[in-house]
Amino acid sequence: MTLTRGAIIALLAALAIAAGGATVSPAFAQPVPTQSDIQSERDSAKADRAYAAGRLDKARGRRGLAEQARKNAGDARNAADRNGWNRRAREHDGLAADLEEEAAGLIAKAERKEAKAKRLQERLKTATQADDRRRAAAEAEERRIREARERKAEERKTPYKLKLEDAISVWRFKDGDAPFVIIPEDPENRANDYRLEAHTNNRVWKGTYTPFDEGDPSRLPEQTARIVFRYKPKAAEMNPVIPEWAREAVEDQLEWRLELDEAGSEVDPRLSLKWYPGEISWIEELDGNRTAEVIGDGDPRTLEIEPEYRIQISDLAQSMLSIGLGGTHDAETHPIEALIKGQRFFIKIKLPPKMAKEQGNTLTVSFKGLGGGDTTTLELTGTGSTSAHRAVAYTHDKPVTIADCDIWTEPRREP
């Protein structure tokens, strides 16, 4: 079977559709013409018209000779001369007709070439416009990327300006995983917005934020940084190199100070943290007299903290419940959505500082199975101090079940 060109195109289109691709256009892709191609067609058409004009001139000459021959035939006095002139007139007319036909063909050929030149010109114009659009789109995309890079570079040059709402967040030491949580000292009192607390693993620091930059006369003298936290350590928290009696002597005098200032940039915000541990001087005389006093701030230790984006400060003000299976199971990263009857589990409830303080060291909870309706009441114990101003986790030591398992080999749950 022989396939026509149209049938082949239709077959290709059907195959493309079946394969999930784009449909095939009935028109084969044609090369983009050049201005030289167009001019060549125009020059050829012009030459054809010029040659046709020459043929028409010759045809007109032949028509004139034919007319003169017919006139001579009319003036002839004998039949032989008359027939001769008429024959010459027909010959001239025949040659004129051939020349006119040739000229007509040349003119038609020139018109086709001119029409082709016009089509080529339109194709070139369309292709040029498409190229212009592609070029403009490419230039626009290049410009967008360049401007984005410039903005990024500019943002990296823009110093970070810490706002109060950004300060109240969970931070983490840059060279470790220890958290540094900044919260309002009294969230319910809007008059003390600038009074803050910093919670570390085992300490609560009190401090203030200032919106005024360094050198601004509005900044208070004691506000030596954007945020300044203070903490009075107990003797046991001080440097153990210092004698215990000296530490106890300055327990109410020594004050640790944290100064937090902006570091990094708008796209890479960080805070520089300077810890002034204080400097203690002590004297122990031979007669038993001894004195100790705070003589300065001490040499600061400089660290950096960065935002911890995985934890939102709002999460720290909510109670959270998690169910675990014990062992290596992490209830927070792999939460349990359902349990089977008799399956043993652990439960943990976290309460924010204020709720934990009101609740106390124990929390009684009850569970009810959705399927069988069995219930279990359990007393949970807090794993941290409810006066430490941080969230407290309530849990238990032994796994529990909501109901006894139906399998006789499983041990009965404790009453």
Tens of pLDDT, residue by residue over 136-195, are 999 999 999 988 888 777 766 677 888 888 888 889 988 777 889 998 887 766 666 789
pLDDT of residue 310: 72
pLDDT per residue over 232-274, tens digit each?
999 999 999 999 999 999 999 999 999 999 888 877 888 999 9
Is-contact 198 226, C-beta < 8 A?
Answer: no
Q: Considering the entire predicted model, what is its pTM?
A: 0.45
In this prediction, what percent of the chain has a pLDDT beyond 70? 80
> Rounded to whole angstroms, how far apart are CA atoms 240 and 277?
13
The three-state secondary structure class of 326 is coil
What backbone torsions phi and psi does residue 313 show, to the nearest 5 degrees? -60, -30
pLDDT of residue 200: 86
Residue given tokens 């004998």 in the structure block: 78
| Polymer length of the chain | 415
One-letter amino acid of 278: G
pLDDT per residue over 295-340, tens digit each?
999 999 999 999 887 766 655 555 677 788 777 666 655 667 677 7
In this predicted structure, the answer to whether residue 5 has a pLDDT above a threshold of 60 is: no
In this predicted structure, the answer to whether residue 8 has a pLDDT above a threshold of 80 is: no
pLDDT of residue 353: 73
> Rounded to whole angstroms, how far apart are CA atoms 200 and 72?
131
303 Cα distance to chain centroid? 30
pLDDT of residue 334: 65
Q: Number of helices (H) and strands (E), helices first, in the chain?
A: 6, 15
In this predicted structure, the answer to whether residue 49 has a pLDDT above a threshold of 70 is: yes
In this predicted structure, the answer to whether residue 17 has a pLDDT above a threshold of 70 is: no
Sign of the C-alpha dihedral computed for residues 136, 142, 146 and 149 taken in this order = positive
> Rounded to whole angstroms, how far apart are CA atoms 252 and 243?
16
Is-contact 375 400, C-beta < 8 A?
Answer: no
pLDDT of residue 260: 93
**Mean pLDDT over all residues of the chain?**
82
Is-contact 321 287, C-beta < 8 A?
Answer: no
Among 75-89, 115-129, 203-217, 377-391, name the one with the lowest average pLDDT.
377-391
The three-state secondary structure class of 293 is strand
Q: Per-residue confidence at 20, pLDDT binned at 50, 70, 90?
A: very low
Say how many Å lie between the first and final Cα of the chain, rounded. 89
pLDDT of residue 314: 56
In this predicted structure, the answer to whether residue 14 has a pLDDT above a threshold of 90 is: no
pLDDT of residue 410: 53
Instruction: Please provide the DSSP assignment of 26-61 as one string.
Output: SSPP-PPP-HHHHHHHHHHHHHHHHHHHHHHHHHHH
> Rounded to whole angstroms, how far apart are CA atoms 251 and 293?
10
In this predicted structure, the answer to whether residue 134 has a pLDDT above a threshold of 70 is: yes
pLDDT of residue 387: 53
Query: 118 versus 399: which is more confidently predicted?
Result: 118
Mean pLDDT of the region 78-103? 93
